[in-house]
Amino acid sequence: MNWQDSYESLWAMRHQLIKDLMGSGETHPARLHYLLQWFHRFYDPSGPIDHANNRDGFPLLPTGVPAFRTMVVEDQVVVVPFYDNPNDFLVDLLIKDKPEAVVELGSGYGRNLIELFYRGGPSGIPYYAGEFTESGTAFADTLGSLSADLPIVPFRFDHNDPDLSIVNESSFVVFFTCHSIEQVTKLRPDYFKILADQATRVMGIHFEPFGFQIPGSNTELDNVQKRYFENNNWNMNLYDVLQASAESGEINLKHVSKNSVSSTDRGNPTSLIVWESNS
């Protein structure tokens, strides 16, 4: 088969996938585009990608893909996180395990929720935007009012005094944070229990810069990050609270990986936590 025929076949296959998605109710071009990207993360023209046997031996994330990948920058092969965008991780985690609601805690104006939805996140459910500031909440409300497809529900939220009474769903709720707990000087010891008690099943995902808190973390980068947090009076106990909640049985800790999420801040890299409530 020559290259023209090969591409003819590939585009026909991708077009058929898009038409199948449209038949299931997907109609927004952005969602269709990013759902095609989801497909390519797990399939190639020959079938499912065998991520477990990736050539570099990288460990797998809970989504089933390697935590890292290699790419060429100038004349060097460098290791980078698999996901360029943490919202793609959420898409891959939730695409076959749809919750009743998604709640971001520390959402700002709702950027992550908007990206999550249009990158292929769960449809037909509320996206709660919990934000400390009044201005950020008003901003999210303005953007949420522009689309009937994306039901953003803004509310005021404080990590130090977590009130989640606005979240009505009670069967399966997903909470996530992204560089939000980092600014909580001292996380309360019952923080994860409060979230875990919100529904029959709760999943928590945290994209937070806590790598320097993990025992044994003493690299130059760890020390730079630790000093940065000390100087800003930022969080120093996320990992300790997480471990204590797991050891007491309040949560089931599924995954922790250090500096595994793409970050443009070389002095404040992002690590990953995934946990679930105990049934």
Q: Distance between CA atoms of 102 and 174, rounded to whole angstroms? A: 5
Q: What are the sequence ranges of the domains in the chain?
A: 3-49, 51-82, 84-277
The CATH number assigned to the domain with range 84-277 reads 3.40.50.150
Instruction: Name which of 171, 166, 160 is nearest 241 in CA terms.
Output: 160
Q: Does residue 155 contact residue 144 with C-beta atoms inside 8 Å?
A: no
Answer whether 243's CB lies under 8 Å from 214's CB.
no
Contact 116, 87 (CB under 8 A): yes
**Amino acid of residue 189:** P
Specify whether the CB–CB gap between 188 and 177 falls below 8 A: no
Tell me the C-alpha distance between 212 and 240, whole Å.
12
pLDDT of residue 267: 85
Mean pLDDT by 10-residue block, N- to C-terminus, for the chain (279 residues)?
70 91 94 96 92 96 96 92 96 96 98 97 97 97 91 97 97 98 97 98 98 95 95 97 98 96 88 94
| 64 φ/ψ sector (left φ>0, alpha ψ -120 to 50, else beta) | left
Tokens representing 144 are: 């949420």
Q: What does residue 155 show for φ and ψ, rounded to 5 degrees?
A: -155, 155
pLDDT on residue 5: 63
Report pLDDT for 89. Answer: 98
Q: What pLDDT was estimated at residue 263?
A: 84
Joined tokens for residue 240: 């300790």
Which amino acid does the sequence have at 82?
F
Given 3-state DSSP classes, what are the helix, strand and coil percentages for the chain, each rounded to the nearest 5? 35, 25, 40
pTM given for the model: 0.94
pLDDT of residue 4: 62
What angle (nearest 5°) sits at the alpha carbon of residue 185, between those of residues 106 and 173?
35
- Tell me the C-alpha distance between 80 and 274, whole Å: 20
Which residue blocks in 24-103 are alpha helix, DSSP H? 29-42, 86-94
Q: How far is C-alpha 172 from the geometric centre of its chain's CA atoms?
A: 17
Dihedral angle sign, alpha carbons of residues 38, 39, 44, 47 = positive
